[in-house]
């Protein structure tokens, strides 16, 4: 599959030059990968504010999009941006400068979605919110916004979610901004909302005892395709963390699982945790390519390792045909 990033603010020659400058002082025993050419395949990684410092400083080399998680909608239509600091934004802007990475701001998420309902179900506060969000993206250099409403409580809120997405796209389109959404496999939107979204990040994890098997992930992606969502909008989510098989509320990062249990390279279970190892991540990536999906989405970049066991680099290698 041919890979290219079409909306990067830098040309390829400039990207290569910036990469050389950024990495001139780096010492690594790995071959330096070329900047990915990614127009046909998206690799989108969430990066919570708590992980900005710990994420691989070269992560921008291996992704097309970074989704900074997260700011919150308030019932009044205002934005609660308290968790995302100018320093966080500056660090991810450095990825754009070096690699041409697209940057999206995420809204909501688990435990951060209480403002969605009262805001979105009122037409005036919804319009105010969209105006505030548009201004925030433009002032802070974001290429778009990603909605993660977990979860609408009733039919009124589900309908309001669809209207929120459609109206956001209408406001964003003159500025060339993207609108995406993270959706659980059982969530549904109106056809107009699916049409307005640039892509759907399918949260194909936290599903069952072994929470992210290849088969369950494929079924999650296919469910949206059956709903009529074009394959080119379906981005398959993969976890960079594991969950205890016997106590699913207990989770551990991929990096910590490797550090504590030293599983075999092909394993997806260790120390009572189910996770996705390198082989499974490559398998899922190949599935997304073969099915002509939009790409791969990652939760989350700060949970990865920074060496040859890296899941992010496994995705890179699979997409690049290495």
The conformation of residue 294, written as its DSSP 8-state character, comes to: S
Q: What is the pLDDT of residue 234?
A: 98
* Cα–Cα distance list, 185 to 188, 203, 235 (Å): 8, 7, 12
Question: CA angle, corner 116, sides to 66 and 300, nearest 5?
Answer: 25
What is residue 82's predicted lDDT score, i.e. its pLDDT?
Answer: 97
Residue that the structure tokens 């290569």 belong to: 16
Q: For residue 321, what pLDDT is reported? A: 87
The whole-number pLDDT of residue 215 equals 98
* Closest C-alpha among 205, 203, 183, 185 to residue 193: 183
Unique residue bearing structure tokens 């949260």: 203
Q: What is the CA radius of gyration of the chain?
A: 19
Maximum Cα–Cα distance across the chain: 56
CA gap 63, 77 in Å, rounded: 32
Tell me the C-alpha distance between 136 and 65, whole Å: 18
The ranges of the chain with pLDDT < 70 are 1-39
Could you give the CA distance from residue 218 to residue 191 in angstroms, rounded to a whole number? 22
Short-list 107, 105, 179, CA closest to 141? 105
Which CATH number does the domain 12-201+220-238+287-305 belong to among 3.40.50.300, 3.20.20.80, 1.10.3720.10, 3.40.50.880? 3.20.20.80
Partners of residue 317 on adjacent β-strands: none
Q: For the chain, which residues make up each domain, given as ranges?
A: 12-201+220-238+287-305
Q: Which pLDDT value is given to residue 79?
A: 98
> What is the DSSP secondary-structure string of 5-42?
-SS-SS-HHHHHHHHHHHHTT---SSPPPPPP--SS-E
- The values of phi and psi at residue 320, to 5°, are -80, -5
């Amino acid at each position: 599959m041919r890979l290219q990033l079409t909306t990067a603010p830098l040309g390829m020659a400039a990207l290569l030059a910036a990469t050389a400058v950024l990495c001139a002082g780096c010492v690594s025993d790995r071959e330096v990968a070329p900047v990915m050419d990614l127009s046909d395949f998206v690799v989108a990684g969430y990066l919570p504010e708590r992980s900005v410092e710990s994420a691989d400083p070269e992560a921008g080399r291996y992704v097309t999009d970074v989704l900074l998680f997260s700011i919150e909608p308030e019932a009044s239509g205002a934005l609660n941006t308290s968790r995302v600091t100018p320093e966080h934004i500056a660090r991810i802007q450095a990825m754009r400068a070096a690699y041409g990475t697209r940057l999206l701001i995420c809204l909501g998420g688990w435990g951060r979605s209480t403002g969605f309902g009262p805001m979105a179900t009122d037409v005036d506060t919804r319009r105010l919110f969209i105006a505030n969000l548009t201004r925030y993206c433009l002032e802070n250099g974001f290429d778009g916004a990603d909605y993660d409403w977990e979860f609408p409580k009733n039919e009124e809120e589900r309908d309001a979610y669809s209207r929120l997405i459609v109206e956001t796209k209408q406001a964003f389109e003159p500025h060339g901004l993207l609108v995406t959404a993270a959706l659980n496999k059982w969530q549904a939107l109106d056809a107009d909302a699916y049409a307005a979204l640039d892509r759907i990040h399918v949260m194909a994890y936290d599903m069952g005892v072994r929470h992210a098997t290849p088969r369950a992930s494929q079924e999650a992606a296919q469910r949206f395709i059956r709903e009529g969502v074009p394959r080119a909008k379906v981005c398959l989510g993969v976890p960079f963390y594991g969950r205890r098989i016997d106590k699913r509320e207990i989770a551990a990062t991929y990096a910590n699982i490797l550090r504590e249990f030293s599983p075999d390279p092909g394993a997806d279970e260790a120390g009572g945790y189910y996770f996705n190892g390198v082989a499974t991540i490559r398998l899922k990536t190949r599935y997304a390519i073969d099915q002509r999906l939009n790409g791969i989405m990652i939760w989350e970049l700060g949970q990865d390792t920074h060496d040859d066991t890296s899941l992010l680099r496994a995705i890179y290698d699979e997409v690049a045909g290495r």
